[in-house]
Amino acid sequence: MTRALTTQWRNLAFSGLILHEILDHPLEDETPQARLKQVGMMTVLYSMNQAHQKLTLSNIMEITALTRSGVKETVDLLVKRGMLDETIVKNSMGRGTARQFEISEALLEKLSSFGAG
C-alpha cells in the first residue's frame, strides 16, 4: 500500500478512535460542548504530533488562537481521560517550567490494534 494511503487510513482510524473514546465515555458532569471541544483538540494535537511540533500550551494557543485558559481547560480533560500524558519541561527561555503533552501510549496502542499503525 502506498505511504499516502497508509497515512490516510491511520488518520481515519485515529478520528474514529477519538470519537468513540470521547463521545461514548462521557466524564461525570461533562457537557456535550466539552466533549466536542475535546474531539477538536485531539484532532489538532494529532496533526501537530504528525508535524513533529511540541505539544505545549503556548504552541497549542498559537495554532488554535484560543486563550491559555481555553486550551488548559480542554487539555486537562484529555489528560484526565488518559488520552494525553503530561510532563513538566523547561520553558523555551530555559528559566521556568512548561507543561508538555504527548498522545498517550495506551491510545496509540488502541490505534495500532486497528491495523493502522
| Prediction pTM value | 0.87
Average pLDDT value for residue range 76-103 = 90
Domain ranges of the chain: 3-114
Residue 117 has pLDDT above 50, yes or no: no
Q: What pLDDT score does 116 carry? A: 44
110: nearest Cα among 56, 33, 42, 35 = 42
Q: Residues 7, 106, 80, 90: is their CA dihedral positive or negative?
A: negative
For residue 89 the three cell numbers come to: 519541561
Q: Which residue has the cell 484532532?
A: 43
The three cell numbers of residue 18 are: 477519538
How do residues 9-67 score in pLDDT, each as one tens digit?
888 999 999 999 999 999 999 999 999 999 999 999 999 999 999 999 999 999 999 99
Annotate 36-93 with DSSP letters as a single string. HHHHHHHHHHHHHHHTT--EEHHHHHHHH---HHHHHHHHHHHHHHTSEEEEEEE-TT
Q: What kind of fold does domain 3-114 have according to CATH?
A: Arc Repressor Mutant, subunit A (1.10.10)
Tell me the C-alpha to C-alpha distance, in Å, between residue 23 and each of 2, 36, 45, 84, 112: 32, 8, 18, 16, 20
